[in-house]
Amino acid sequence: MPSHTHNHSRAMSLLGLQLRRAITASSQSSLVAWAGVPCVSGGVATSPYTFSFCRLKLGRGVASWDSSAVSLFQKQAPSRRTFAAGPSSSWEHAIQDSIDADNHATTTTTTTKTPKGDVTDLNNLKEIARKTRGAHISVTQIVDAMRAGKQNDLETGASILWTVAEHGDDAKRGEICANALDVLVGMLKDPINTTKFGLQCAAAALSCALKENKEFAEVVSRRREAVRAAGALEPIVQMLQSGDARCRLDAAGLLVRMVADAKFVDEVIAVGALDPLVAILHVDDEGLLTLNDVRVVASAAMAVANIASHGDKYRAALVDCGALPPLVAILRFGDVHARANAATALANFSCGSTTCREALRQAGAFEVLVDLVHDKDDRFRKQVSRALSGWVGRIKDAASDTTRRDDVNLEDLATLMQKGDQSHKETSAAVLWAIARTSNGLRRDEIIAADGVIDVLVSLLHNGSDFGRTSAAGALSNIIKGTGQYGDRRREVVLAAGALAPLLSLAQTGNEMAKEQATAALLNIAKGGGTCRDTLEKADAFDILRKIVESNEFQKPMQAWLTRTLSDVEQGDPIDVMKQASRHANKRDEIDVNRLVNLMKQGNDLDKETGASTLWAIAQYSDGSRRDEICAVEGLLGVLVDMMNEGSVYGKAAAVGALANISNGRGLSAARRRLEILNAGALPPLVALAYDDNPNLTEQAASALAKLAADSVGASAIVEAGALDSLRKILSKGENIRAMASVAMTVANLAVHGNDMKQAVVDAGIMPPLLDMLRTGGMNEFAQNCAVMALANMARGDESYRQVLEDAGALQLLNELVTTSSWENVRNNARRAIRFSTGEEELVDDHVDYAAIVDKMLNDSDVDRMDGAAMCKQVLSSAQRDALVYAGAAPPLIALLRDGSVEGKTIAATAVAELLFGFSETRPQAFIDAGVVEPLVALLRGENGYNDTDGKIRAASAIERLTYRNASRGDAFVQSGACDTLVALLSDDSDSMQYRAAKALLGISSSTAQNREAVIRADPIRPLVGLLRDGATMEIKTEAAAVLAQLLYRNSQAVEQAVDAGAIPLISSLLLDAIGAKTQSRALLVLSHIANVPSSTYRNAIMDNNAVVEHLVALLDSDDDNTTKSAARTLSSLTYQDYGRIDGVVSAGAVQALVSLFKKSDVSGGVLSHACVTLANIAESTASSHLAIMMEAGAATVLEPIARDDNTAKSKDARYILECLAVHSNNEGGEDGGSSGITPPQWPS
């Protein structure tokens, strides 16, 4: 190798290294340099961008060299304008060193060809540029001539630069950015002295200089930065508003190139570019008069497309400017470029948020895109398909998220499936597969009813790809799930559409996944009624299914499911399948109650017990109509009564629980159900079980009696059956809080039915233990509330019973509760009871003229409307509230909420909140149906100048009562945007407002898991944790903890937010400072949810406070079952596979407390299950000291009976503990922490 070549290579290697260092050391000079902007060096303006000719490949350590570029740099540098002196760049020295080291390079310089003629003759150069496409034009000479010349020279020079930038190579465009920016931008800034032609040329030259170059993307980005820094954006926006189409075209073209880079979009928007861009789009067919007009629209559409590609923030800004309607209109234009660019813009919008897609829908984009998906123009069709694919993709994303599946618009899917291309049809089928898998029967009915969906799915079974056929089979399989008449109706629709033949074919010939789904679909059809089974039998489907399942070719989980399902189909649905279904909200309504009862009649005792517990669950979560359906099943009540008389303990409890839930509710239909239960002979066994040795039986029986006492017939029957004596014993014993609460509720219901019932209560000696119940600590809110309501109803009416209460000390006790109770409802009911006790009943007469109150609110006079609303507040009994709402009070109250004065709105909000107080199935729905959601949320937001804190508090209270544990009403407020408003009110200055906002969020989040997620998206965690800090009242802290307990349930991200906000020390303090079981249990739940997240950091943080661990151990001895369960659950999480934490829990005395739980007779199974898990965790440490403590506490004795039970998780844990204890006993004296060799139990997740 020649020496000069070797030196050249080494010099270039050094150049690459030094250049990288120089760029790193001086970001400002490197930014300017690589953008092609003059850089100060030794007093001379040089253009380092010229060295892009060298094609430096930084990052690899080697640079290839083109010596002609160096010569060009040397030739051009002295001719440039002089700037203030500054420090030399290190890369400049490196280049000079490399030149000196390369003798060959210094002797072979190349100069830029100078065209013949005078270089200052710009017209001559213009002609040469046109002919040579700018190949032999020196940009520096052109710019110098423009600076030295006249106005015409500026325009001619700009025209030449336009030609050079458009047709020249990337180096030429770099020279323009390096030397011509000030001249070109100066022309744009001087529209008075610059002609339209000059403006066009300057804008076009800048636009072409910013042409994309994928190889040098970062360089192009720096050129854009240089254009921005030169101040080009504002004059370009002014050009957009020019009356000249060519000016607007060139300005739009430059903006297209600028907004291709996200970093410049904010400034483009800031200088006001969006409105003129959108204004250009507002051109109809008749307005497109010239070619330039068409091109302007196309460029503006592309600029909008680029802006929309950079995120929802910019898409929202474009929506606000009204960009969507004209973009949709452009799709109908004849010009292919404008249509394609508009479709590109809409495609970028379709990839955005739900809000963007909703805006597209309102603009009519979806329908237009679907109609044009088969357009003959290839480019346009591709963009339309891309737009729809973005839409489908977002729908698919929503379908993949179980919390968002209900948000998917089925009409969109149906339209895509009917009019879209093959990929849209198949993807939509996959979406339906996901949606139907976790949907309830109503949602599946909506899918069946969607126009053309089933026909398209069946056609995909015939002619789809493997993916399409599999998706269609999976969708059909899930759509037809369910039992009863609704499930059968869906199956019949699918069969009528011709699905059977292609499903049978696919089950035999498809790929593995397709076979699985087709077989599952056929089995789900077979689960239907006689018609469905007959159709399958005629097609010999069962023989085919048997062969497919017996082939055993599927993966293990699916094979097991198919085998089990085929067996179930051939033998009939077993009763335990129904029990499993009753545990899931989306399956509960599909259980065939008639079939369930028939199985109970024909089955053994175990079948009856399983069936009764299934009915218990169904009736607990059903509405009145479903309970009517259950009650009407022939022979059911007789079966349940027989079980109460002769069944096992579990069977009796299940039967009582089922009857209690069937009898629940208000109104005539509920009264009829209770009467039928009495006529079936249920009362005698209920009375007998009300004071049973088994606390669970006592609890359930007392609850049933309380519900039956709601009617006068039931009340009289309870008294005549001698039930009051058993109820008095429950109160006197004072051990079962839930049963005591039900007894108090029974007394409250009895007292409503007149003096005879009150006298029976007094004669039975119930009043003294009822008052003792309030005097004794440890009662939860519900129990206290029931007792106070009982006193209120006893005191109301006849003065003699007021005297009985006063003599017994009830008045003093109620006054104490008003000031000391932790719960607002208890305090309010205590005040009401005091009014009754003193004869100050602030109630309207029992014979209220409800129609007159409603008529008063319907008057035109604002005074009358407010007076009528105020009268609503005085109707305090539940029956009166029902009657007033039935008389039509809801619509006029809502009208006053909407259009009343500030005072009127506050009165109306108070009346609505009062009328919603107490349990009712009908009142909340009446207000929802009348449209209460929107005005309540408007009040909370303070719309139309409303700013009455008291009214907002009442509105929040109404929302809580409307939404609590009701899915549809919770959905209504979520969709209205109430969550964000309520979260903001958590930071209100008013304590009452904070309290009510938290209660309302609790109501919404308790309705469904989806609504819980919606509340979480409103970012309430940090403000809720803030309410736990010092300064907030105990009531507020309690409600904040209640909401957190809801939101943190099985949500690790929410737990992480809470911990980051400081929840652990705050909730620990609340637990230690809690007054009353309610606050304590809610703080415990939050702590339990945090501990349940598999994070040692969180669990260790809880353990850091020794007082908390000791308090958790102490709470194991609580009288409240929920508190004990939460404490045991938290300890089970803290002791999970960590010796240090286990040691801390054992040191706090947990083993003795846990073992003592098994010695009590009134502890629930849930508590014992968590206690078993905690003891198993401790035993897993295999530490001799821990096992010795367990032996000493008598763990083996109490766990042995449990270990002999059925194969439950609790019995497995008990057996494992006993095995550990046996090993310890045999190897006493082993080292702590040694392995016992026993396989640990299955640890809970």
Task: Look at residue 394 and tell me whether its pLDDT is greater than 50.
Answer: yes
Task: Give the per-residue pLDDT at 1109.
Answer: 87
- Which tokens in the block code for residue 424? 């849209």
| DSSP H/E element including 1144 | helix 1139-1147
Task: Look at residue 17 and tell me whether its pLDDT is greater than 80.
Answer: no
- Partnered with residue 471 across adjacent β-strands are none
Output phi, psi for 858, to 5 deg.
Answer: -85, -5
CA distance 478 to 822: 49
CA distance 1192 to 1211: 21
Q: In 88-195, which ranges are continuous DSSP H helix?
A: 90-101, 103-106, 122-132, 139-148, 151-167, 170-179, 181-188
Higher-scoring residue by pLDDT: 50, 720? 720
Q: Is the dihedral of CA 817, 823, 828, 832 positive or negative?
A: negative
* Residue with tokens 């050249």, as numbered in its chain: 8
Higher-scoring residue by pLDDT: 845, 107? 845
Strands (E), 211-250: none
CA distance 657 to 954: 36
CA distance 532 to 463: 25
Radius of gyration of the chain from its Cα atoms, rounded to whole angstroms: 40
Higher-scoring residue by pLDDT: 816, 1236? 816
- Partnered with residue 1176 across adjacent β-strands are none
Task: Give the per-residue pLDDT at 37.
Answer: 37
Q: What is the mean pLDDT of residues 579-602?
A: 73
CA distance 164 to 379: 29
Task: Look at residue 1120 and tell me whether its pLDDT is greater than 70.
Answer: yes
Three-state SS for 46? strand
- Residue type for 1059, please? V
Task: Look at residue 1199 and tell me whether its pLDDT is greater than 70.
Answer: yes
Q: In 2-41, which ranges are continuous DSSP H helix?
A: 3-25, 27-35
CA distance 1004 to 961: 10
- Residue type for 1058, please? A
CA distance 924 to 1007: 14
Burial environment of residue 212 by CB neighbours within 10 A (0 to 12, 13 to 18, 19 or more): exposed
CA angle 402, 404, 406 (to 5 degrees): 95
- Which tokens in the block code for residue 1120? 């409240």
Q: Kindly list the distances between the CA atom of residue 1041 and the CA atoms of 20, 785, 1112, in Å, as whole numbers in the listed order.
A: 56, 21, 17
- Greatest mean pLDDT among 37-41, 143-147, 246-250, 499-503: 499-503
Using an 8 Å Cβ cutoff, are 352 and 313 in contact? no
Q: In 779-861, which ranges are continuous DSSP H helix?
A: 781-795, 799-807, 810-820, 824-837, 850-857
Higher-scoring residue by pLDDT: 811, 943? 943
Confidence class for position 791, pLDDT limits 50, 70, 90: confident
Using an 8 Å Cβ cutoff, are 476 and 625 in contact? no
Task: Look at residue 410 and tell me whether its pLDDT is greater than 80.
Answer: no
Q: Kindly list the distances between the CA atom of residue 215 and the CA atoms of 56, 259, 950, in Å, as whole numbers in the listed order.
A: 12, 19, 65
Higher-scoring residue by pLDDT: 773, 470? 470
Q: What is the mean pLDDT of residues 1082-1100?
A: 84
Task: Give the per-residue pLDDT at 663.
Answer: 86
CA distance 212 to 1180: 65
Residues 6+ apart with CB under 8 A from 181: 37, 206, 226, 227, 230, 232
Task: Give the per-residue pLDDT at 401.
Answer: 60
Q: Kindly list the distances between the CA atom of residue 169 and the CA atoms of 85, 146, 174, 222, 445, in Å, as whole numbers in the listed order.
A: 32, 22, 9, 17, 63
- Partnered with residue 45 across adjacent β-strands are 40
* Residue with tokens 């199935």, as numbered in its chain: 921
pLDDT tens per residue, range 439-483: 777 778 888 888 888 998 999 999 889 999 999 999 898 888 876
Output phi, psi for 44, to 5 deg.
Answer: -115, 135
Task: Give the per-residue pLDDT at 1228.
Answer: 54
CA nearest 982: which of 968, 992, 993?
Answer: 993
Task: Look at residue 937 and tell me whether its pLDDT is greater than 90.
Answer: yes
Higher-scoring residue by pLDDT: 914, 827? 914
Distance of CA 1169 to the CA centre of its chain: 32
Task: Give the per-residue pLDDT at 1203.
Answer: 82
CA distance 1230 to 301: 80
Using an 8 Å Cβ cutoff, are 1168 and 1157 in contact? yes
Q: What is the mean pLDDT of residues 207-232?
A: 85
* Residue with tokens 């007093």, as numbered in its chain: 43
Task: Give the per-residue pLDDT at 798.
Answer: 67
Q: What is the mean pLDDT of residues 349-367?
A: 78
Three-state SS for 59? coil
Length of the chain: 1245
Task: Give the per-residue pLDDT at 667.
Answer: 67
* Residue with tokens 């989980």, as numbered in its chain: 557
Task: Give the per-residue pLDDT at 936.
Answer: 93
Q: How far from each other are the two terminal CA atoms of the chain, in whole angstroms? A: 70
Task: Give the per-residue pLDDT at 1139.
Answer: 75
Q: What is the mean pLDDT of residues 630-650?
A: 86
CA distance 339 to 329: 9
Q: Is the dihedral of CA 597, 598, 601, 603 positive or negative?
A: negative
Using an 8 Å Cβ cutoff, are 549 and 591 in contact? no
CA distance 169 to 1079: 75
Distance of CA 992 to the CA centre of its chain: 28
Q: What is the mean pLDDT of residues 180-197?
A: 88
Domains (range + CATH), the chain: 3-106 (no CATH), 112-231 (no CATH), 424-570 (1.25.10.10), 591-681 (1.25.10.10), 691-842 (1.25.10.10), 843-999 (1.25.10.10), 1020-1104 (no CATH), 1112-1245 (1.25.10.10)
Strand 44-46 to 39-41 pairing: antiparallel
Range of lowest pLDDT (8-12, 326-330, 921-925): 8-12
Q: What is the mean pLDDT of residues 268-283?
A: 87
Q: What is the mean pLDDT of residues 1072-1077?
A: 71
Task: Look at residue 1182 and tell me whether its pLDDT is greater than 70.
Answer: no
Task: Look at residue 388 and tell me whether its pLDDT is greater than 80.
Answer: no
The alpha carbon torsion through 531, 533, 538, 540 (nearest 10 deg) reads: 170
* Residue with tokens 């205590």, as numbered in its chain: 830
pTM (2 d.p.): 0.42
pLDDT tens per residue, range 834-880: 777 666 544 434 456 788 888 888 888 888 888 888 888 667 566 77
Task: Look at residue 296 and tell me whether its pLDDT is greater than 90.
Answer: no
Using an 8 Å Cβ cutoff, are 240 and 289 in contact? no
Task: Give the per-residue pLDDT at 1154.
Answer: 92
Q: How many helices (H) and strands (E) does the chain have?
A: 79, 2
DSSP-derived secondary structure letter, 40: E
| DSSP H/E element including 884 | helix 878-886
Q: What is the mean pLDDT of residues 479-505?
A: 83
- Residue type for 644, please? M
CA distance 16 to 76: 23
Task: Give the per-residue pLDDT at 1232.
Answer: 37
Q: What is the mean pLDDT of residues 1212-1223?
A: 83
pLDDT tens per residue, range 991-1028: 889 999 999 999 898 877 788 888 999 999 999 999 98
Share of the chain above pLDDT 90, in %: 9
DSSP-derived secondary structure letter, 112: P
Three-state SS for 82? strand
Q: What is the mean pLDDT of residues 78-101?
A: 33
Burial environment of residue 218 by CB neighbours within 10 A (0 to 12, 13 to 18, 19 or more): exposed
pLDDT tens per residue, range 527-583: 776 577 778 878 888 888 888 888 777 776 667 767 766 766 665 556 656 666 666
Q: What is the mean pLDDT of residues 520-524?
A: 85
Task: Look at residue 29 and tell me whether its pLDDT is greater than 80.
Answer: no
Task: Look at residue 412 and tell me whether its pLDDT is greater than 80.
Answer: no
Task: Give the per-residue pLDDT at 93.
Answer: 38
Q: What is the mean pLDDT of residues 116-125?
A: 53
Task: Give the per-residue pLDDT at 113.
Answer: 41
Q: Kindly list the distances between the CA atom of residue 1153 and the CA atoms of 153, 602, 872, 1126, 1192, in Å, as whole numbers in the listed order.
A: 98, 45, 52, 14, 12
Task: Look at residue 40 and tell me whether its pLDDT is greater than 50.
Answer: no
DSSP-derived secondary structure letter, 62: -
CA distance 318 to 278: 8
Higher-scoring residue by pLDDT: 1002, 34? 1002
The alpha carbon torsion through 659, 660, 662, 667 (nearest 10 deg) reads: 140
Residues 6+ apart with CB under 8 A from 787: 741, 744, 770, 773, 774, 779
Confidence class for position 1050, pLDDT limits 50, 70, 90: confident
Task: Look at residue 370 and tell me whether its pLDDT is greater than 70.
Answer: yes
Mean pLDDT of the chain: 77
Q: Please count the other Cβ atoms lying within 10 Å of the Cβ belonging to residue 1011.
A: 25
Task: Give the per-residue pLDDT at 1151.
Answer: 92
Range of lowest pLDDT (119-123, 1080-1084, 1191-1195): 119-123
